[in-house]
């Protein structure tokens, strides 16, 4: 079986998962005809054109090479920007891994490669008993870790990598996203992670005042993803 997709997670919320996911989609589209991004759960909606939409899902959609029904690439949309289990409870909705797996399976019929972007970090609760890590395990996809480069990122990154491997999944690579322009010893921190994460560095996203065009980011794919 060849490469069918990946799961993108982060060291925390707000570390650039969507930007990196969109950049990965653009890169993957150079090697695969039908590439699509999936945001299984989006918590926090905005109004656009008279409709409530999830900005993360829109970004992934724009970077995908095929268009699919929104119910497949973003099956769960929750109004408030909270942890999925809290946002779902306040919306009177129950979300579980099984329903998200069904959407993913249907999405695979429309694309050669499906990139799945998580929410928050690795252990974010989905309901009273499941986390988004359980979804990644159910999908059995290789994982890309987005590390938000700021003070404290070493601990967050190493613990997340340990959890990913502890759950039986492969960490295919990681991306350093500079989110603190004043971070001291940036290069030394990146080098420390290169030595300790035991996974390839796929790219470094420099800090910018405004979000860059994902197509402009230079990311390297693992060799078996081509």
Give all domains of the chain, ordered by start, each with its CATH number: 5-219 (3.40.50.300)
CA 40, distance to chain mean position in Å, is 10
What does the mean pLDDT of the chain come to?
96
- pTM equals 0.96
Is pLDDT at 1 greater than 80 in this prediction? no
pLDDT digits (tens, 9 = 90+) for 30-71: 999 999 999 999 999 999 988 999 999 999 999 999 999 999
Q: What is the mean pLDDT of residues 122-146?
A: 98
Q: What is the pLDDT, as a whole number, of residue 101?
A: 98
- Which candidate in 17, 32, 39, 85 is catalytic? 39
Q: What is the pLDDT, as a whole number, of residue 218?
A: 87
Is pLDDT at 3 greater than 80 in this prediction? yes
Query: 3-state DSSP helix/strand/coil percent for the chain, to nearest 5?
Result: 35, 20, 40
pLDDT band (50, 70, 90) for residue 184? very high
Q: What is the 3-state secondary structure (H, E, C) of 167-196?
A: CCCCEEEEEEEECCCCCCCHHHHHHHHHHH
pLDDT digits (tens, 9 = 90+) for 191-201: 999 999 999 99
Is pLDDT at 223 greater than 90 in this prediction? no
Distance CA 152, CA 47 (A): 34
With pLDDT > 70 as the criterion, what percentage of the chain qualifies? 100
Q: What is the pLDDT, as a whole number, of residue 2?
A: 77
SS3 state of residue 203: strand
Q: Note if 39 is an active site residue.
A: yes
Provide the CB-side half-sphere exposure for 167 (13 A, CA).
Answer: 23
Task: Show the CA angle centred on residue 152, arms to residues 191 and 164, nearest 5°.
Answer: 75
Q: What is the pLDDT, as a whole number, of residue 115?
A: 98
Is pLDDT at 107 greater than 60 in this prediction? yes
Q: What is the pLDDT, as a whole number, of residue 178?
A: 97
Phi-psi region of 153 (alpha: psi -120 to 50; beta: other; left: phi over 0): alpha
β-partners of residue 145 are 9, 174
| Helix (H) or strand (E) segment spanning residue 113 | strand 113-117
In sequence order, what DSSP letters do the residues of 71-98 get, joined into one string? HHHS-EEESSSS-HHHHHHHTT----HH
CB environment 136-160: b (16+ within 10 A), e (fewer): bbebebbbbbbbbbbeebbebbbeb
């Amino acid at each position: 079986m060849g490469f069918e997709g990946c799961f993108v997670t982060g060291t925390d919320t707000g570390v650039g998962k969507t930007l990196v996911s969109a950049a990965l989609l653009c890169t993957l589209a150079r090697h695969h005809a039908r590439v699509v991004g999936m945001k299984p759960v989006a918590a926090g909606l905005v109004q656009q054109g008279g409709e409530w939409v999830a900005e993360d899902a829109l970004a992934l959609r724009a970077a995908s090479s095929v268009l699919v029904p929104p119910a497949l690439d973003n099956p769960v949309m929750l109004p408030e920007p909270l942890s999925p289990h809290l946002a779902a409870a306040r919306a009177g909705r129950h979300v579980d891994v099984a329903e998200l797996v069904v959407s993913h399976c249907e999405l695979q019929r429309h694309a050669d490669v499906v990139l799945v972007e998580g929410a928050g970090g690795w252990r974010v609760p989905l309901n009273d008993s499941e986390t988004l890590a359980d979804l990644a395990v159910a999908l059995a996809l290789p994982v890309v870790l987005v590390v938000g480069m700021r003070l404290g990122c070493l601990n967050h990154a190493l613990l997340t990598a340990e959890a990913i491997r502890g759950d039986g999944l492969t960490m295919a690579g990681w991306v350093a996203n500079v989110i603190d322009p004043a971070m001291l010893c940036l290069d030394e921190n990146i080098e420390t992670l290169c030595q300790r994460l035991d996974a390839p560095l796929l790219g470094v996203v420099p800090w910018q005042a405004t979000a860059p065009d994902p197509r402009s980011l230079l990311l390297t794919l693992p060799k078996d993803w081509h």
